[in-house]
Homo-oligomer: A and B are copies of this chain.
């Protein structure tokens, strides 16, 4: 008997009919002889509606109370899902984050998991029941207060439960058919990826692929959880995200044939800030990014120009989420006297394209082919950044679709037919 954790996002449980459909799928998994634990998000737009309600009461809701409010969302969906399963003749019990032992720190709105003690979930399984756990929520032991995990929280709940319960697999149900070589909304001939390593998935998620939240992938990688991304609207096989036993090996330690390129990810959500004319001396970059870090902004790519020998000055550019740009600009402007730069430039019309694949650095031809494809398409590259298994480039935002199509084709990723795209998003 296998133990399977299944996660269903908000769009999968948007109304009573969807909940009944999801219940049926869970019951089928149970009937196939598996123990089943489910992590579920709030129904459809519930969380957004609750945030709206809070903002009608006060523009600055107290974080503890906002978490108390938002956790009502999963409470509703999990109870409905449990009663739907029970009405089909199978035992089911719903558990809040607290009841399921999702222990977190006290950081309301963005709590980190510190321990998972799913005793009641295990008891429910031992009694033959299906356990339904509220996604996104946790509990801080010190304060006794309810917390939420922030964005990507439900995926993380599922993965954390899978790790703590030593589940055989963690199935993430979503509104797409799995992982593709590019976003099918941009590249209609994007190809389905049946298997991918968690490291590659991490690079894709970091590069803007929205299917799995980066935090959940990190957790899965660190705890050796196998993920299975599937559509809750179809019966397609989806994508398995596995943890290879070592570099170039599959999870059983068998050498894998390197399929150099996994896919192309794009991201239009970032802005670029350039610090112009800063002194190129040891410690200056550290000082700069300390000022940035104080704002809480997450920096993505960083590029430093070669300094002009005559002046000893250089320019440093970095990308970050658009909504963080204003705060960072204000913080840097305030530090201008001590940092001693000439000026700041802000550009929110950039697009990022990332090519991801195993063993990319050992294959020198990949970068050349990438730059050639972009150049042939008449697209200018503004920033470049590379890792072991990824090459990212920044271009103008309005060229990103053309760039993605060109690169996807250049690496022979195009499928024979167009992929089917489903509507909706999960949390």
A interface list, Cβ under 8 A from B: 15-16, 19-20, 50, 53-54, 56-62, 64-66, 68-69, 71-73, 75-76, 78-80, 82-84, 86-87, 92-94, 99, 120, 144
Contacts and interface: CB of A to CB of B under 8 A. Distances in A.
A83 B57 contact: yes
A87 to B, nearest CB: 4
Contacts of A69: 75-76, 79-80, 83
Nearest 9 pairs of A and B residues by beta carbon = A58-B87, A16-B56, A69-B79, A68-B79, A72-B72, A65-B83, A72-B75, A62-B86, A61-B83
A99 B66 contact: no
A16 B75 contact: no
Nearest to A76: B72
Contacts of A75: 68-69, 71-72, 75
A82 B65 contact: yes
Given A94-B65, A144-B99, A144-B120, A57 B78 contact: no
- Between A20, A53, A144, the greatest number of chain B beta carbons within 10 A of the residue's beta carbon is seen for A53
A80 B99 contact: no
Contacts of A66: 79, 83
A374 B3 CA distance: 72
Contacts of A68: 75, 78-79, 82, 94
Given A54-B79, A68-B82, 9 more contacts: A16-B56, A50-B76, A57-B87, A58-B83, A58-B87, A65-B92, A71-B75, A72-B73, A99-B144
Contacts of A19: 57
A91 to B, nearest CB: 9
Contacts of A16: 53, 56-57
Contacts of A62: 82-83, 86-87, 92
A53 B80 contact: yes
A80 B54 contact: yes
Contacts of A120: 144
13 contacts: A16-B53, A53-B80, A54-B79, A58-B84, A59-B87, A62-B86, A65-B92, A66-B83, A68-B79, A68-B82, A68-B94, A72-B76, A72-B79
A19 B65 CA distance: 14
A100 B15 CA distance: 32
Nearest to A74: B72
A100 to B, nearest CB: 11
Contacts of A58: 83-84, 86-87
A301 to B, nearest CB: 37
A38 to B, nearest CB: 13
A79 B94 contact: no
Contacts of A83: 54, 57-58, 61-62, 65-66, 69
A70 to B, nearest CB: 8
Contacts of A54: 79-80, 83
A223 B98 CA distance: 33
Given A99-B144, A144-B120, A84 B57 contact: yes
